[in-house]
Structure 1
Amino acid sequence: MLPAADPAGVVGAGDDPVPGSPGPVVPIRPLTFRELLDLPFALIQANPAALAALGGGAVLVAEVVVVLLTASVARLTDDADAAIAWTAVLTTLSCAWLVRVLMRATVVPIALAAAFGGRTGVRAAVSRAGDLAGPVLLAHALFTLVGVGVSVLGILLITLPFVVVWLGYLRGTQFPAPVVLFAEPTTHRQSVARAKLLTEGTRWRLTGLWLVQRTLFTLLAVPLFGVMLFVSDITGTHRWPVIVLFTVTGLVLAAFGEIVESCARVVCYVDLRCRREGMDIVVPRGGQARGGSA
């Protein structure tokens, strides 16, 4: 058995579901590896309208920005192919990064509420994201810098497998950190320390989860881009339709991947809280009547 974590400042344990709600979507108990993979999709199914509105709105705004910036560069460079291509790629990557930040900041509170039997709407989620915009942006910036820095070491083919596993281990160590920001009154630095404490003893398990998720995302992305190539061949390789087609596909994948990953973080948070702190242990509330009336 793992040693208990410091429960100071921890919220969520023992809360009753909101009256009229369907109850917790995530079982409040230690979870199996298969449940860690499956339950994120149960959280998505519990909030389809809110997640679709957030994801669709973010992708739409991001695509408009990509098209406008690419069209502006095309006009300034007299339709230079290289300039247009680089602009489309860089703006798509930048907008995808922002889409992931927005999705993480809004999906986590929605999934967290559903996990404990509550419900959070789009407005409430955006409000929570605004309240924690600074810590969320800082966390995602550091998250990206670590990912880029470690990935550079994988340029050599011989080191690539080790780099991927190492990156997965680092990601697993911090996997519940974004959820801690929303579930517990804490700062970014404290959320990182809290995540390390929660994941102690289970980091290789979370590494495996991260690697399996990346494999699933790759299996989803490859055929989707293959369909895009097929459609572009049928309709003709006109520049702007192809640019829009591929940039939209990239943004949709970024949004969907972050939705799944954010829900997975919430599921792992519940699992880790149960394993380390016994959150699944029900303690009777004090002050209740014990038979008869007062």
Structure 2
Amino acid sequence: MSAQHAWTPAPRPGIIPLHPLGFGTILGRSFAALRHNPAVLFGFALGVQAIAFIILLVGVGGIGWLTFSRLDTLREGTEEFDAVLAGSALITGLAAFVLGLLATALQVIVQAVVVGEVSHAVVAEKLRLATLWRHVRPSLGRLLAYAALLLVAIAVLVGIVTAAIIAIGVAVHPAVAIALTVLVILGAIPLTLWLNTKLLLVPSILILERATIRAAVARSWVLVRGRFWAALGVIVIISLLFGTISQFVSLPLSFLSSGLTTIFAPTGEPNTGAVIAIVVTVVLTYVITLAIQAVGLVVQSTASVLIYIDCRMRREGLDIELLRYVERRDAGDDSLPDPWRPRAGGPSSAPAAPPGWGQPPYPAQPPYPTQAPYGGQQPYPAQPPYPPQPPYPAQPPYAAPQQPPPAPPVARDARTWAPPTAGDGESDPQPPS
């Protein structure tokens, strides 16, 4: 008897189909992770955004108040007043820069959690925040270091370009410096988009493959090749979408603030009602803006992970590995390897490409050596030719086939015919011939 296979249920669907994704699928399913686990993603992102905003507001505001409050004890126009003013501005600017880096680091943490959640949502798994945190924590240090290196590189590049423009303006002419500034800004826009797209997959590689920073940058550069324009289009559309939503939300609230100020303070003198109205409007504006920024951060991070998955499906056959993982997991197998980690033999278990598709050709084989004749063998004797055959005798012609005689005509019985009766409109009836 043949063994019967055990019945297994159909695999649970994830947030994306397990095959290479199109442009519309990536763009549409970028919102799917937020719907799949909103309590973790939206709640965590909103909390982190609020903490970053409070740290930035309280830190910069407190340091600015402490430094600039010393100006009240000094007389304006003196050298000491100018020195304290310059020092206060410098200290406040440095504090804003450092706290801005801290806020960016908090956003990087949100991105790491989103990468972990999307990687599980693709295979129809839903985890809690504590479990996700345990998965992404080993790679969080490398992700923060990569973000810091990127910010430092940008700051150094901007500083060098700014110093060069100022030096040109001082040495040549201010108009030349202004024109050069415009050209640099116009050239920086496509350069920034190009670099952001080429390095878009680095966070996903750092979190899911546990790669080093250098290996992640090189791998992102290679993986995005062939899907550059699709990745660029998705990121630009999502950025423009949430930027437009923020403007549409903030503009009515600014009109509301102006209207309340006019109502509570028609003469322009500040009072308690006007201050309360302005504070409430400002707080409401920032709360809604933080919510939109949290959703936008989650959606953009999800889109980058989906682009990473699509690139690996197309180049390495990751969809086959994920399907195999889902089938074995649903069948009850608990000893499953991580499907996102590249195998020891290569980046994935996909079959190798045939020669000519990115692989070196096979080395040339040496010709086979000529075989020596067998010793002691006599050649075969020559065979006599076949004797000539006599021609075939002439055949008599075929007789013409005889035609069968024609059949005699069939005699008809005249008694079977009867003339029509009178009154049916016939005249001069004739029997049939």
- Band the TM-score falls in, shorter-chain normalisation: 0.7 to 0.9
The structure 2 residue matched to 1:277, chosen from 316, 321, 327, is 316
- Seen in structure 2, the aligned counterparts of structure 1 residues 222 and 35 have a Cα distance that, compared at 3 Å, is same
Q: How far has the Cα of 1:173 moved from its partner?
A: 1.0
- AA aligned opposite 2:194: Y
- AA aligned opposite 1:43: A
Q: Which residue of 2 aligns with 1:6?
A: none
Q: Is the 8 A contact 1:198 1:276 kept in 2?
A: yes
Q: Which residue of 2 aligns with 1:33?
A: 23
Partner deviation per Cα, 1:182-221 (whole Å, 9 max, x = no partner): 2213222221122122112222332233322322232122
Q: Which residue of 2 aligns with 1:267?
A: 306
Q: List alignment gaps of at least 5 residues for structure 2.
A: 1-8, 72-84, 163-179, 262-273, 329-433
Q: How far has the Cα of 1:179 moved from its partner?
A: 1.0
Q: Give yes or no for the alignment of 1:101 onto 2:113.
A: no
Q: Which residue of 1 aligns with 2:340?
A: none
Q: How far has the Cα of 1:70 moved from its partner?
A: 4.8
- AA aligned opposite 2:301: S
Q: Distance in 2 between matches of 1:174 and 1:107?
A: 17
Larger helix fraction of residues: 1
Aligned residues: 266
- AA aligned opposite 1:183: L
Q: Is the 8 A contact 1:173 1:203 kept in 2?
A: yes
- Point out the more displaced range, 139-148 or 127-136: 139-148
Q: Distance in 2 between matches of 1:89 and 1:227?
A: 29
Q: Which residue of 2 aligns with 1:231?
A: 256
- AA aligned opposite 1:210: I
Report the secondary structure of 2:244's partner residue. helix
Q: How far has the Cα of 1:30 moved from its partner?
A: 1.4
Q: Give yes or no for the alignment of 1:59 onto 2:66.
A: no
Q: Distance in 1 between matches of 2:300 and 2:28?
A: 12
Q: Which residue of 1 aligns with 2:132?
A: 125
Q: Distance in 1 between matches of 2:224 and 2:254?
A: 41
Q: How far has the Cα of 1:276 moved from its partner?
A: 0.3
Structure exhibiting the larger radius of gyration computed from Cα positions: 2
Q: Distance in 2 between matches of 1:223 and 1:107?
A: 27
Q: How far has the Cα of 1:113 moved from its partner?
A: 0.8
- AA aligned opposite 2:39: A
Q: Is the 8 A contact 1:28 1:270 kept in 2?
A: no
The structure 2 residue matched to 1:139, chosen from 137, 146, 151, is 146
Q: How far has the Cα of 1:21 moved from its partner?
A: 8.7
- Seen in structure 2, the aligned counterparts of structure 1 residues 257 and 148 have a Cα distance that, compared at 3 Å, is farther
Partner deviation per Cα, 1:135-179 (whole Å, 9 max, x = no partner): 110122234345567778798444545432221111111112111
The structure 2 residue matched to 1:116, chosen from 123, 126, 132, is 123
Q: Is the 8 A contact 1:174 1:192 kept in 2?
A: yes
- Quote the sequence identity (%): 23
Q: Is the 8 A contact 2:105 2:147 kept in 1?
A: no
Q: Is the 8 A contact 2:201 2:220 kept in 1?
A: yes
- Seen in structure 2, the aligned counterparts of structure 1 residues 25 and 146 have a Cα distance that, compared at 3 Å, is farther
Mapping 1:68-217, distance limit 5 Å: 68-70=58-60, 72-73=62-63, 75-76=65-66, 77-78=68-69, 93-94=100-101, 96-145=103-152, 156-217=181-242
Q: How far has the Cα of 1:133 moved from its partner?
A: 2.2
Q: How far has the Cα of 1:123 moved from its partner?
A: 1.0
Q: Which residue of 2 aligns with 1:14?
A: none
Report the secondary structure of 2:20's partner residue. coil
Q: Which residue of 1 aligns with 2:369?
A: none
Q: How far has the Cα of 1:268 moved from its partner?
A: 0.6
Q: Which residue of 2 aligns with 1:45?
A: 35
Q: Is the 8 A contact 1:171 1:210 kept in 2?
A: no
- Seen in structure 2, the aligned counterparts of structure 1 residues 71 and 142 have a Cα distance that, compared at 3 Å, is closer
Q: Distance in 2 between matches of 1:173 and 1:148?
A: 19
- Seen in structure 2, the aligned counterparts of structure 1 residues 98 and 185 have a Cα distance that, compared at 3 Å, is closer
Partner deviation per Cα, 1:4-35 (whole Å, 9 max, x = no partner): xxxxxxxxxxxxxxx99943211121111111
Q: Give yes or no for the alignment of 1:221 onto 2:260.
A: no
Q: Which has the higher contact order (CA 8 A, sep 6+)?
A: 1
Q: Distance in 2 between matches of 1:150 and 1:204?
A: 26
Q: Is the 8 A contact 1:96 1:255 kept in 2?
A: no
- Seen in structure 2, the aligned counterparts of structure 1 residues 208 and 164 have a Cα distance that, compared at 3 Å, is farther
Q: How far has the Cα of 1:247 moved from its partner?
A: 5.0
Q: Distance in 2 between matches of 1:166 and 1:129?
A: 31
RMSD (CA atoms): 3.7
Partner deviation per Cα, 1:219-262 (whole Å, 9 max, x = no partner): 12222221331233244374755664565455444433321111
Q: Is the 8 A contact 1:109 1:120 kept in 2?
A: no
TM-score, structure 2 normalization: 0.52
Q: Is the 8 A contact 1:168 1:210 kept in 2?
A: no
